A and B are shown apart, each in its own frame.
Chain A
């Protein structure tokens, strides 16, 4: 069964984030535990799960204005959230490193090329945020919001258009 372009992009983002390990030259290994749409209300991360990432493709704005005939542009807003537990590194510093690693990973290919085919034509960083809570342990979280711009044929979410 074929996947639509949105699904392919989410899969590509997950696969890219999974490459974030110190063995691959990053500062953290937050890519070792990547989830897609983990429900934080009913199944929040447990302390033992950390470090971890969660991906959520929140919404997509569609537009045909200014686009090539017969195509629709989609602007997907994706939230990438990380949770970490302090061990040896200062918690705020680790959160900044995680954010930097995510941005670096995204920047390796902002068009999300899979099997030689570009799924999107650009990716933009919209915002970042970090927070630290000190309860039983020191816990930290950060969020990166990105926009992924891609085109499909009109009313054909399965076919990319460039």
Chain B
């Protein structure tokens, strides 16, 4: 009998991130590693960002949901290519063992 963790992992791969359902394939390159194709759920919301007292900018915040087994270790310097655009991974959110992690992305490198 499989554990709940195993069942979550199966659901993540077979249902949530399946490209026949909500998922789509992108190219993920860990810093210093090789590019691989992984499935993610893409999310791009708009939000108002305050950059100084009295200065507000409405801007998009790209992010994606990915299988935690595809994203291991520190994400600093990792990139994702989607539709010809390169996104830099700013942060990884979510706890190990929950199946899915959220990657916060930017068109600009934090080192740029």
Within 8 A of B (CB), among A92-109: none
A123 within 8 A of B: no
Q: Is the interface of A mostly helix, strand, loop or mixed?
A: strand
| Residues on the A chain within 8 Å of B106, using CB | 134-138
Cα A82 to Cα B55 with chains together (Å): 7
Cα A56 to Cα B52 with chains together (Å): 14
A142 within 8 A of B: yes
Q: Is the interface of B mostly helix, strand, loop or mixed?
A: strand
The size of the chain A interface, using a CB distance under 8 A, is 29
Q: Are A44 and B56 in contact (CB under 8 A)?
A: yes
A-B contact pairs, 25 of them (CB 8 A): A40-B54, A40-B55, A44-B56, A44-B57, A45-B55, A46-B57, A79-B54, A82-B55, A86-B108, A86-B112, A129-B53, A131-B51, A132-B51, A134-B106, A134-B108, A134-B110, A135-B59, A136-B44, A136-B60, A136-B62, A137-B107, A138-B108, A141-B52, A143-B52, A143-B53
List residues of A whose CB falls within 8 A of some B CB: 40-41, 44-47, 50, 54, 56, 79, 81-83, 86, 129-143
**Given A83-B57, A136-B107, 19 further pairs, Cβ under 8 A:** A44-B56, A44-B57, A47-B57, A50-B57, A56-B54, A79-B54, A81-B53, A81-B54, A83-B55, A86-B108, A131-B55, A134-B106, A135-B47, A136-B60, A136-B62, A138-B106, A139-B57, A143-B53, A143-B55
